[in-house]
Amino acid sequence: MKQMSSSHMDNIPSTPGKFKMEKSSYIQRCKHSSSVAKLTFFVFLSLILVFFFKSPSTSSSSSASQYSASSSISSDLSRRSLKTSSWGGLAWEKRVRSSARIRSRNGFSVLVTGAAGFVGTHVSVALKRRGDGVLGLDNFNDYYDPSLKRARQALLERSGIYIVEGDINDAPLLKKLFELIPFTHVMHLAAQAGVRYAMENPSSYVHSNIAGFVNLLEVCKSANPQPAIVWASSSSVYGLNTKVPFSEKDRTDQPASLYAATKKAGEEIAHTYNHIYGLSLTGLRFFTVYGPWGRPDMAYFFFTRDILKGKSIPIFEAANHGTVARDFTYIDDIVKGCLGALDTAEKSTGSGGKKRGPAQLRVFNLGNTSPVPVSDLVSILERLLKVKAKRSVMKLPRNGDVQFTHANISFARREFGYKPTTDLQTGLKKFVRWYVSYYGSVKKTDQ
Ligand SMILES: O=C(O)[C@H]1O[C@H](OP(=O)(O)OP(=O)(O)OC[C@H]2O[C@@H](n3ccc(=O)[nH]c3=O)[C@H](O)[C@@H]2O)[C@H](O)[C@@H](O)[C@H]1O
């Protein structure tokens, strides 16, 4: 097994494709046409297009994705932002090759999807640091503040990692990347995350976590060589289970949110592609990952922001004042788990879309094994921030949250020595240090 790298980044500084307006062909045609009628038609069409893409329903801040150069215009509700960037060309190919170049003996070349995301950024840096070739892919959607994703991108650029701007639903783009680079591995972290947001924008979950995953697997199964794939599942697949700690052997057929259901679907889809095409697939069930460069939609992150702002913190509790708790897992431990899973992933067995023999299929819990009540999380933040939180205790809403998570990690420990070492107090201290350095120490931070 390769050496695992610890990826401290506390002091340094997922997904439909991009839409490219085919303006040029229209412009060409207009130039060569003397017909006033055609010109009028063009102006009219342009106005409709402009109206369509500026209209709040399609370009408002809460949709999930960008549309790819090759994907068609869709009325998919999951769109969060539309961009007109494109990929291709010699300079672009050079950047792709340079980023994916392996710099150590027996190194991997890894395509990291969701590379501008929280876990994706940390994993990419860790891989690069040990000499693997890393190419990122991200659609930079605005599910949360894209400027944070851009800052992570800048961080990766400084490590020599290029992030291709594109979407996992963009098959021509993915095919092109596999044509350029014989990736040994795919670290698939692009996804529509967040448990509660699934009620607001369900189609974004289907689009990224199901359609996008299938699209990626379609391209991987036809690639030659086929890569081994490690991908992000979720602790949420345990749903309404009450037996703790959660073991990989437990049932996962009672998801409490659409997010959980799409991750569970991903696990079944992984089974199918492993079975039919011989793809090596490893799913990682992450347990509430937190840390520097984290996701602003997660409780520890926006609690920090709101405590500093003097805003009240909604703390959920279950029926009869039942404790709501999470097995919060620090990002560096998760990175070690991801690298461990990559290092022990066996090769896919198929080629050219044909299975040649049985392939590896695994699922691991990556948690911390010590659940902490949400109210204790707030107490730790109060101490670290030296500000008293305005607590507003409320009933756990029926929007997908489960009461309790707790990982049994013995399988990951056995297979690749996974052993989390960061407790919540230590991890949050690093998070707060990063938060203050990133957003400034002013209490009334506004992000
Ligand atoms: O392990 C996962 O698979 C998931 O982990 C994460 O989900 P969760 O564990 O739900 O994290 P997060 O929202 O931070 O809520 C934390 C706690 O605060 C409580 N919570 C939340 C909001 C609030 O206003 N009040 C509150 O008490 C809430 O009830 C909960 O007890 C990822 O977001 C998700 O993408 C997925 O990866």
**Cα angle value 418/380/144 (rounded, 5°):** 75
Helix (H) or strand (E) holding 25: helix 23-31
36 three-state secondary structure: helix
Q: How far is the CA of 35 from the centre of ligand 1 (A)?
A: 59
Which atom of ligand 1 is the closest one to the Cα of 325?
A: 31
What is the set of active-site residues? 259
- The greatest distance separating any two alpha carbons of the chain, rounded to the nearest whole angstrom, comes to 76
Q: Which of 209, 374, 395 to mutate to test the pocket of ligand 1 (most atoms within 8 A of CB)?
A: 374
- 195 CA → ligand 1 middle, Å: 7
Cβ neighbour number for residue 281 with a 10 Å cutoff: 29
Half-sphere exposure of 399 (CA within 13 A, CB side): 13
Long-range contacts of 212-215 (CB under 8 A, 24+ apart): 212/14, 212/15, 212/16, 212/167, 212/168, 212/169, 213/168, 213/188, 213/266, 213/269, 214/269, 215/168, 215/169, 215/170, 215/171, 215/174
The reported pLDDT for the residue numbered 86 is: 82
3-state secondary structure of 251: coil
Predicted pLDDT at 13: 40
Whether the complex's predicted ipTM is more than 0.95 is answered with yes
402 CB near ligand 1 (under 6 Å):
no
42 C-beta neighbours (distance < 10 Å), count: 16
> pLDDT tens digit string along 30-57?
334 444 444 444 444 454 444 333 333 3
114 lines ligand 1 (CB under 6 A): no
How many whole angstroms from 138 Cα to the centroid of ligand 1? 23
The DSSP output letter for 270 is: H
pLDDT value of residue 83:
54
Residue 447: the pLDDT is 53
Q: What is the DSSP track for 85-99?
A: ----SHHHHHHHHHH
pLDDT of residue 399: 85
Q: What's the pTM?
A: 0.85
Q: Which atom of ligand 1 is nearest to the CA of 298?
A: 14
Given ligand 1 and candidates 326, 391, 405, which is best to mutate, with the most ligand atoms within 8 Å of its CB? 326
Q: Are 352 and 270 in contact (CB under 8 A)?
A: no
What's CA 206's distance to the chain center, in Å? 14
Report the residue count for the chain: 447
Low-confidence ranges of the chain (pLDDT < 50): 1-8, 10-45, 47-79, 82, 443-445
pLDDT tens, 194-249?
A: 999 999 999 999 999 999 999 999 999 999 999 999 999 999 999 999 999 999 99
